Structure 1
Amino acid sequence: MVQAAGHGCAEQANGLFIKPTNSTEINFYTSMSALDSPLTDLMPNFLGTLAETKTNSNESNSTNTSLSTPVLDSSLSEQSCIVLEDLCEAFEDPAVLDIKIGSVLYDSHASEGKKQRMDKVSQATTSGSLHFRIAGMSLIIGGNRIHYGKDFGREATIENVASRISEFFKPLTSEYKEYILELSIGYLQQLEKILNEVKIEMHSSSVLFIYENNMEKLKSKFEHINSTGNESMKYDMNLQLKNKVQIMDMRIIDFAHSQCAETIDNDCLVGVRNVISAFESISSGTRPRYEINK
């Protein structure tokens, strides 16, 4: 998987994405699956964990690594690996944008030192003012892959963050850009609806956007989807599934600090609504109308 931010130790193979994680993230995936939460529709497919087990005998010690589907277990090793679908597998050359949502970047278990550090990051960036921040971006322009690091997002302001997000669509023609923006907004609105219903608490989770950055492949996919001839369904994201062709995808990821809660997560909801405003402003060419935390 092409990385837009973080996961430096993650691996991919045979359509799988494997990354080190903690028991909190494993339990969150397991809980959402057990509850049949609508949020799972926008989460990566959860395939289980890679657990290392050691067996001792008088003759030898051996280590066995196997894929297993976990149960809720707060004692899971902090070094456990989670196995997910590789979201980039469906794309020849994926362009990837990672947007971190929420203004509180730590959970209740964080040390006072970490809380202070993360509060400073939030206050100094759009995480604090807009409840979202660009975490990273990777795309191909002129045949070269360009990576935008964390400073690209940390240096963004209320005034220019939408402009910085628009860089993500730079390789696209106006027609492809419009199509992918409409699909992205549709996914975001679906996420907003779900977050208005599901009682969870998320910190430092991200919304990940991916689109086909290979222009020849994109053209072929675009023509295939639009061969339905139904103009009114042009921007229906379900057409991708019906035609078994993926032009773009959006998922919510990173749940190392997430859990079920008694209420909905208003912090993340404001962030998602502001991301929608940014995308709509890029599409319409108008100024975004944010909910600003002053």
Structure 2
Amino acid sequence: MDDCKLVHFDQQVAGHDKLMLLSTNDLIVVKPCKKRELDFYQDAINFPDFQDFIPECYGTVRAATEKDLKLLDKSDILTIFIFNLKILQNLCLENVLHGFTKPCILDLKMGSLLHDQDATDEKKKRMIMHSLNTTSSKIGLRLSGLKVYDTVKRRYARFEKKYGQSRTVDNVLEALLAYLFPVSKYANDVENYAKHIEDTITEQDIIKEKIPTKYSKWVIECFIDTIKEIRESIIEHPNLRLIGSSLLFIYEGDRAAADKTWKSMLEEDDLPQNKDEDDSRLEDDELPPKMCDLRLIDFAHSDWHAERDEQDPDLINGFDNLIALLESCLQRQSQEKL
């Protein structure tokens, strides 16, 4: 514990940029939040069928002891929260980026309603206008943040916030294509919105080629399947009120890492299916690499206590539109050999 401190989490693509990591590993992110978000995760325990769709919650970090205070005190970011613990919690969540070498990240804000019932009149008006002036009100989703890795040029591109805000119904598909195919014309066409971060890797054996078509196709199909599962689960829980929540998309952007993961997946498919549960080849701290992941995140304005018999139709419409958009991405990929 004495060698452990909290450091800034530099992979966040949307929100208030206050996530942190423990310096000793990247398994857990620490998120300052209000009690409502903590309550959401605690209530979610009562809905185990929904657990796979959100990051696992490990509780909170509190300055309850001298050792805890010492840990929190090492982070300048948390200083303000140490003296305000009655209002804010420091939530410990699963880092869903763990297992990726060069994660490509997309944050999509879902639904058209962006404020809860506790918002001030001023904030309600602001959020309503924000929804009306973006794709939120029109198709029930909005691009909030985007970061992709170009494995050919060996650099990250982090797209500015105004890129998502400026997307329209007519060009949101191109934005998804820019995310899914970072070496394509779609990504190059919007480079004026991107801040580039050059890679420092110098090893000669790293493959400088785009992600193979079969990998990308598999990833998009996985995204579609997972979104359909989340959609059905949300419909089955009309009491679940999601306001301002996002879908976080992640896929492996490094060619060498993707090749290794693909090979591992093929080998796993060839294994006998009747293995004993205790015949595990991987320890808890040796998780297999990931090709992609997709989770619901951001529950500062969400809860499980809506008194209704039917889910928010605008939210479901957003999921339907997203599925249609990703299916169009598959068609474009096939037609244009992306």
TM range (shorter): 0.7 to 0.9
Tell me how far apart the structure 2 counterparts of residues 214 and 6 of structure 1 sit (CA, whole Å).
25
Structure that is richer in strand per residue: 1
Partner of 1:162: 173
Deviation at 1:229, TM superposition (A): 5.7
Change (3 A) 1:77 1:65: farther
| Pairing partner for 1:36 from 47, 50, 53 | 47
Partner of 2:246: 206
Partner of 1:233: none
Q: Secondary structure at the match of 2:62?
A: strand
| Pairing partner for 1:190 from 191, 214, 229 | 229
Equivalent residue runs for 1:116-195 within 5 Å: 116-141=125-150, 142-171=153-182, 172-195=211-234
Pair 1:218 & 2:258 matched:
yes
Equivalent residue runs for 1:78-93 within 5 Å: 78-93=87-102
One-letter amino acid matched to 1:247: M
Deviations 1:235-291 (A, max 9, x none): xxxxxxxx94421000000000001112333332211111111111111239xxxxx
Question: Aligned pairs, how many?
Answer: 259
One-letter amino acid matched to 1:143: R
Tell me how far apart the structure 2 counterparts of residues 154 and 50 of structure 1 sit (CA, whole Å).
34
Change (3 A) 1:102 1:207: same
Structure 1's consecutive aligned runs of 4 or more residues displaced over 3 angstroms after TM superposition are: 62-66, 227-230
Deviation at 1:63, TM superposition (A): 4.5
Tell me how far apart the structure 1 counterparts of residues 166 and 326 of structure 2 sit (CA, whole Å).
19
Tell me how far apart the structure 2 counterparts of residues 22 and 97 of structure 1 sit (CA, whole Å).
24
The answer to whether the 8 Å contact 1:50/1:65 transfers is no
Q: Secondary structure at the match of 1:135?
A: strand
Deviation at 1:104, TM superposition (A): 0.7
Tell me how far apart the structure 2 counterparts of residues 229 and 40 of structure 1 sit (CA, whole Å).
25
Change (3 A) 1:54 1:177: closer
Deviation at 1:228, TM superposition (A): 5.0
Partner of 2:81: none
Tell me how far apart the structure 1 counterparts of residues 86 and 302 of structure 2 sit (CA, whole Å).
17
Structure 2 residues without counterparts, runs of 5 or longer: 1-8, 73-84, 183-210, 271-286, 334-338
Partner of 1:258: 302
Using structure 2 for the length normalisation, give the TM-score.
0.72
Tell me how far apart the structure 1 counterparts of residues 325 and 300 of structure 2 sit (CA, whole Å).
26
The answer to whether the 8 Å contact 1:96/1:210 transfers is yes
Partner of 1:291: none
| Pairing partner for 1:280 from 327, 330, 336 | 327
Identical columns (%): 28
Change (3 A) 1:63 1:183: closer
Deviations 1:46-100 (A, max 9, x none): 0001123489xxxxxx95779xxxxxxxxx7332111001111110111101000
Deviations 1:17-61 (A, max 9, x none): 10110011000000011x134221110010001123489xxxxxx
Deviations 1:77-130 (A, max 9, x none): 332111001111110111101000010101000000000111111000000100
One-letter amino acid matched to 2:176: I
Pair 1:271 & 2:312 matched:
no
Using structure 1 for the length normalisation, give the TM-score.
0.82
The answer to whether the 8 Å contact 1:200/1:262 transfers is no
Bigger mean CA deviation after superposition, 211-220 or 260-269: 260-269
The answer to whether the 8 Å contact 2:241/2:302 transfers is yes
Partner of 1:17: 29
Tell me how far apart the structure 1 counterparts of residues 330 and 173 of structure 2 sit (CA, whole Å).
11
Tell me how far apart the structure 1 counterparts of residues 302 and 245 of structure 2 sit (CA, whole Å).
8
Q: Secondary structure at the match of 2:236?
A: coil
